[in-house]
Amino acid sequence: MNHIQGIASESLIPAIMKRGENGADMTKNSKKKKTDRKKAKLKPAVSGFKPVAKAKDVFRKLADDKRNYDLKNTCEKAVLDAHYFSAYRGRRVIKAGGPGGRSFSLYIMFISKKAAAGGAGGVNLVRHEYGHTVQLRRIGLIPYLFGIAIPSARSGRVPEPEYYDLVTEVTADKLGGADRPHSSEAVQAGEAYLKSLGKKVPRKNSANK
Ligand SMILES: [Zn+2]
């Protein structure tokens, strides 16, 4: 008996160890299941989704935007109130942010829906992004991308008052007429920086300047 017990207890050791390992795996699995369940709770149930009503809502909003569309619009609030698209001082505006939901501008202004909800800050945001489109038209696409857009995206973690004093940002505020205080040193540095990026040679028959 003792001998058998001995064998039994010896052979039990790895089994227990295995169970221990499995046990650990099982807690991992159950944790994973819990988080999966949490995620599932956060997501709206598919059965509650009404695609027809949703599509109707989208069409209604698109019709709203189309009706209100005016390329020469100078009202920032009209831009902030638009659902998907609008225009501002000759620039087209898409109501969607870039990576991280941030607003940015190329030839088109991309205004984040999140940021646009910020009231008075939203007005300055629209003006600032317009200022970026003026920078682009002044220096051309490639210098704008490498001199303004990319460095600007990289300095996204700089806190707000200082952010708008950066050489890439301060002239966007000035050219767009954003109502923010800037030190004269910051403005001068920004202007010198923009100048250093060069001036675009105007193309023949270019409509927008
Ligand atoms: Zn900017």
Cα(151) to centroid(ligand 1), Å: 10
* Ligand 1 centroid, distance to 77 Cα (angstroms): 19
pTM assigned to the model = 0.71
What is the whole-number distance in angstroms between the Cα of residue 1 and the centre of ligand 1?
A: 83
Q: What is the pLDDT of residues 143-201, one digit of tens each?
A: 999 999 999 988 888 888 899 999 999 999 999 999 999 999 999 999 999 999 987 66
What is the per-residue pLDDT across 108-140, written as a single tens digit (0 to 9) for each?
Answer: 999 988 765 556 689 999 999 999 999 999 999
Residues with CB under 5 A from ligand 1 (ion): 169, 172
Distance (Å) from CA 128 to ligand 1 centroid = 6
**Can you give the residue ranges of every domain in the chain?**
51-196
207 CB burial (10 A radius; 0-12, 13-18, 19+): exposed
- Summarize pLDDT for 65-108 with one digit per residue, the tens: 999 999 999 999 999 999 999 999 999 999 988 877 788 999 99
Residue 12 CA to ligand 1 center (angstroms) comes to: 67
